[in-house]
Amino acid sequence: MTTMTEAKTIQVYRVYIRATPDAIWTAITDPDWTDRYGYGGRAHYELRPGGSFRLLASEGMRAQGVPEVAVDGEVIEADAPRKLVQTWRLAMEASLAAEGFTRLTYEIEPLEGGVTKLTITHDLTDTPVHAGLVAGEMEDTGAGGGWAWVLSGLKTVLETGASLGR
Amino acid sequence: MDDDDLVFKALASPVRRFLLDLLFARDGRALVELESELEMTRIGVMKHLRVLEDAGLIVTRRSGREKLHFLNPVPIRLIYDRWIDKYRERQVSALADLKSELETKG
């Protein structure tokens, strides 16, 4: 994929996972879980309004030049296991850090039959490099497939216990 | 039908693929805007959007009085990862690769 016609300012991603809302909440907020899918790294949340969020690079990532704090932000709303609103910024590289914070919302809704709907709404207003990255536009450079890839991995790890792409 | 059946069925229509193309070019559009790009009745466009939504390829959001349509690529990604992408190894290197790519460009 090459560059898009314009940066997508609001992006919405949805996945249906055969798991409980609690299991999904844990997979998003527990560092032992966040290291098992997507970009990996250990998420550290203070789950209250104004609390800090940091995604710490794993040893393997650090060995390849990623700084300790790969992503940072602040919790705006934490309503376990239904809704998490936070700011979110890739702090690991100067041009991304300079774009400033985006706003990320996770919504978790149980359906019938043991299936749970997870929706991510990412407000990327005025952060075009972030927008391209989370849309997966830089995947051909090895930079991961953005939210679609992350959510695919999250579903796989919760439903099968197996990690994708590692 | 399972989830993949719904996705393949939704993608089997050129009109529905065109609707996804429109949202790929610019996301978050209202029905009236999508409708203006097609020579079809409003009811017809709504039916196609409904099939896409049932397959999970579109997610709708209310914004004031409008219902906005967003392209959701996750179901396609699930199909891709199932058969194509399984054996690639890259997780640990993804952020490092991104960093070096941006620094090269910078």
CA atoms within 13 A on the CB side of A5: 7
Question: Which pLDDT belongs to residue A5?
Answer: 42
According to DSSP, residue A119 is labeled E
Q: Is the pLDDT of residue A7 over 80?
A: no
CA A9 – CA B34 distance, rounded (Å): 18
**Are B26 and B3 contacting, i.e. CB atoms less than 8 angstroms apart?**
no
Nearest to A65 among B3, B88, B99 (CB): B99
- Residue B84 in contact with partner chain A when CB distance is under 8 A: no
Q: Tell me the torsion sign for CA atoms A102, A41, A150, A70.
A: positive
pLDDT surpasses 60 at B98:
yes
Residues of chain B with C-beta less than 8 angstroms from the C-beta of A15: 74, 78
- Total number of residues shown for chain A: 166
Q: Which domain, by its residues, includes A136?
A: 10-158
Residue A6 has pLDDT above 70, yes or no: no
Q: Which of residues 15-74 of A touch B (CB under 8 A)?
A: 15-16, 38-41, 57-58, 60-61, 64-66, 70
A14–B77 CB contact, under 8 Å: no
Q: What is the Cα–Cα distance from A150 to A40, expressed in whole angstroms? A: 9
Q: Is residue A54 part of a domain?
A: yes
Contact B57, A15 (CB under 8 A): no
The rounded distance, in Å, linking the Cα atoms of A51 and B33 is: 40
The verdict on a CB contact (< 8 Å) between B72 and A12 is yes
B69 membership: H or E segment, kind and range: strand B66-71
Least confident range of A20-24, A143-147, A152-156 = A143-147
Nearest CA in chain B to A147: B74
CA A164 – CA B88 distance, rounded (Å): 9
Inter-chain contact B99–A61, Cβ cutoff 8 Å? no
Residue A151 lies in a domain: yes
B81–A5: do the CB atoms touch at under 8 Å?
Answer: no
Note whether residue A2 is domain-resident. Answer: no
In a domain? residue A163: no
Reported as a pLDDT band with limits 50, 70 and 90, residue A124 is very high
A10-17 and A116-123: which strand pairing?
antiparallel
pLDDT band at A60 (very low <50, low <70, confident <90, very high): confident
Pairwise CB contact (< 8 Å): B95 & A4:
no
- Asked if A151 and B89 come within 8 Å (Cβ–Cβ), the reply is no
- Most A CBs within 10 A among B1, B70, B74, hence the mutation to make, goes to B74
Task: Provide the 10 A C-beta neighbour count for residue A32.
Answer: 10
Contact A155 B92 (CB under 8 A): no
The closest alpha carbon to A102, from A121, A117, A81, belongs to A121
CATH of the domain at A139: 3.30.530.20
Q: What is the DSSP letter of A48?
A: S
Q: Is A27 a member of any domain?
A: yes
Q: What is the pTM of this model?
A: 0.88
Which of A9, A11, A60 has its CB closest to that of B92?
A: A60
Domains of chain B (ranges, CATH numbers): 3-105 (1.10.10.10)
A3 domain-assigned: no
Domain count, chain A: 1
Give domain status of residue A69, yes or no: yes
Query: Taking 50 as the threshold, does the pLDDT of residue B34 lie above it?
Result: yes
Query: Which chain B residue has its CA at the smallest distance from A119's CA?
Result: B59
Q: How far apart are CA B84 and CA A139, in angstroms?
A: 14
Which chain B residues are within 8 Å of A66, Cβ to Cβ?
95-96, 99
The 10s digit of each residue's pLDDT in A39-48 is 889 999 999 9
In a domain, A5, yes or no: no
Say which of A66, A94, A152 has its CB closest to residue B78.
Answer: A152
